[in-house]
Amino acid sequence: MAQTLPPAGGPYAPPFTATLSNNTPLVFGMDAGDAARALGVPLNYIKGRPGNEIYLAFRDFGGSGLFPHRHRLYLQFRGGRLAGWKGDWGRNWMWQ
């Protein structure tokens, strides 16, 4: 459904980002707790010294529903703050 324009001087439509299902995006500088809340999944410790860790988040979304999808997202923290992230979809064993 297309949204109509708001009336002149009336209430304004929410911005596009407010209509997304994940409207709390990852932001550089957030801590591990904020990143877990933004993603909606717990973070799994991979390696690193305290404050400079790498975490892994498993996200289940998309697909046909016939097969489970477990998308991996690696998060790098430096000084206790999010410094970067990388998605890793890997190989799907089903299609080899």
- For 33-69, the pLDDT digits (tens) are 999 998 888 999 999 999 899 999 987 765 555 656 6
DSSP 3-state of 42: coil
Asked whether residue 17 carries a pLDDT value surpassing 90, the answer given is: no
Phi-psi region of 86 (alpha: psi -120 to 50; beta: other; left: phi over 0): beta
Asked whether residue 92 carries a pLDDT value surpassing 60, the answer given is: no
pLDDT value of position 71:
78
Higher pLDDT pick, 26 / 69: 26
pLDDT value of position 63:
57
The mean pLDDT of the chain is 77
Percent of the chain with pLDDT over 70: 56
pLDDT value of position 84:
92
Higher pLDDT pick, 71 / 10: 71
Query: At a CB cut-off of 8 Å and minimum separation 6, what does 42 contact?
Result: 36, 57
